[in-house]
Amino acid sequence: MTVAIVRSTTELRSTIAAWRAQGERIAVVPTMGALHAGHLSLVSAAMNLADRVIVTLFVNPRQFGNATDLATYPRTETEDAAKLGPLGAHLLYAPGETEMYPAGFATTVSVSGVSEGLCGAYRPGHFDGVATVVTKLFLQTGADIAVFGEKDFQQLHVVRRMARDLDIPIEIVGCPTVREPDGLALSSRNVRLSNREREIAPKLAMIMSDAARKLVSAIAAEPILQEAKAAIVAAGYREVEYLELRAEDDLSPLKRADRPARLLAAAWLGQTRLIDNVKVGPPGSA
Ligand code: PAF
């Protein structure tokens, strides 16, 4: 089975109108393509939640601060479409840049609070770009449900806040991070890692899980965070941008894990920036 590809909002809306007329429930899975098992797990989750599943594929220039990162972002639409067919996804919405941002486009959706700090501090404008494109995708599809990965934990919070604040009637579902057998979180950027970097890469998740276990009972997070940062660099990462303990429900900074929490990190491995997050909770919950 092959998935139908639609490139215009007009065609998207007419397809969706026919589904709506039959009373069908619609889910959307926003992606930038280069689909891996993590994305496919989101599609499978969406298939269980709705009658129709739309996967969107748009490499959104407005969320890239770095022109090289945008230019080298993997673009694999044919392979992506081939992966979606067997899962039974109903539509791949892959608009071009002028369809999404026609001449004169002048609106930005900006979410304060949860988009500040963490990645927001190191990627200025990134979450404005995400919130703007995701708002458009929600309005274009009119979906009942949207499925996102917890790998981008801060993004999930930004999207939830945006939908709530703008009264967009959509349920946001977060799905657990999918990992390689050695623990490395799946990411479209992993293909950029050299063989040597690929060997080092899983140490980030390993060190974070170890720190998360210690944080459960620690009276102060800071020494554990400092020790973990040093361990990440000693493992071969070039730089740790941040490693922070935040509340799971609203991302507020925590001095100790005295409420359900996440440990979140971004670190550079050579020229590749990797992010990850782990739950800080009772054994088995990570
Ligand atoms: O997570 C992503 O791939 C992107 O940030 C998203 C949500 C598709 C918006 O471009």
Distance CA 28, CA 143 (A): 6
Residue 157 shares a structural domain with residue 211 = no
| Between 66 and 155, the higher pLDDT residue | 155
Q: Is the CB of 251 under 6 A from ligand 1?
A: no
- Residue-level pLDDT at 281: 85
Residue 23 shares a structural domain with residue 129 = yes
Q: Is the per-residue pLDDT at 286 higher than 50?
A: no
The pair of three-digit structure tokens given for residue 83, joined into one six-digit string: 């992966």
- Kindly state the average pLDDT of the residues 51-69: 96
Share of the chain above pLDDT 90, in %: 97
Q: Is the per-residue pLDDT at 179 higher than 90?
A: yes
Looking at 175, 204, 228, which one is the last position of a domain? 175
Would you place residue 282 in the very low, low, confident or very high pLDDT band (cuts 50, 70, 90)?
A: low
What CATH number has the domain bearing residue 231?
3.30.1300.10
Which residue, 286, 285, 284, is CA-closest to 276? 286
Residue 87 shares a structural domain with residue 142 = yes
Q: Is the CB of 60 under 6 A from ligand 1?
A: yes
Residue ranges making up the domain that contains 264: 188-280
- Residue-level pLDDT at 283: 53
Q: Is the per-residue pLDDT at 21 higher than 70?
A: yes
Q: Is residue 275 part of a domain?
A: yes
Which residue(s) pair with 94 in the sheet?
none
| Between 281 and 163, the higher pLDDT residue | 163
Q: Is residue 286 part of a domain?
A: no
What is this structure's pTM? Answer: 0.97
Residue 10 shares a structural domain with residue 147 = yes
Q: What is the pLDDT of residues 106-140, one digit of tens each?
A: 999 999 999 999 999 999 999 999 999 999 999 99
Report DSSP state, residue 179. B
Which residue's structure tokens are 């974070």? Answer: 208
**Average pLDDT taken over every residue of the chain:** 97
Q: Is the CB of 31 under 6 A from ligand 1?
A: yes
Q: Is the CB of 175 under 6 A from ligand 1?
A: no
Half-sphere exposure of 133 (CA within 13 A, CB side): 27
Q: How far is the CA of 30 from the centre of ligand 1 (A)?
A: 6
Query: Could you give the C-alpha distances from 275 to 7, 145, 166, 233, in angstroms and in order?
Result: 31, 25, 28, 14
Q: How far is the CA of 256 from the centre of ligand 1 (A)?
A: 31
Distance CA 94, CA 111 (A): 25
Share of the chain above pLDDT 70, in %: 98
Closest Cα to atom 5 of ligand 1: 130
| Amino acid symbol at 206 | M
Q: Is the per-residue pLDDT at 285 higher than 60?
A: no
Residue 149 shares a structural domain with residue 227 = no
Produce one character per residue of 194-212: b if its CB has 16 or more CB atoms within 10 Å, e if not.
eeebbebbbbbbebbbebb
Q: Is residue 181 part of a domain?
A: no
Q: Is the per-residue pLDDT at 222 higher than 90?
A: yes
- Residue-level pLDDT at 1: 77
What CATH number has the domain bearing residue 166?
3.40.50.620
11's CB contacts (< 8 A; 6+ apart) are none
Ligand 1 pocket test: pick from 29, 31, 75 the residue with the most ligand atoms within 8 Å of its Cβ.
31
Residue 119 shares a structural domain with residue 56 = yes
Ranges of beta strands (E only) in the chain are 4-6, 26-31, 52-57, 91-93, 145-149, 171-175, 239-247, 261-269, 272-280
Residue 122 shares a structural domain with residue 247 = no
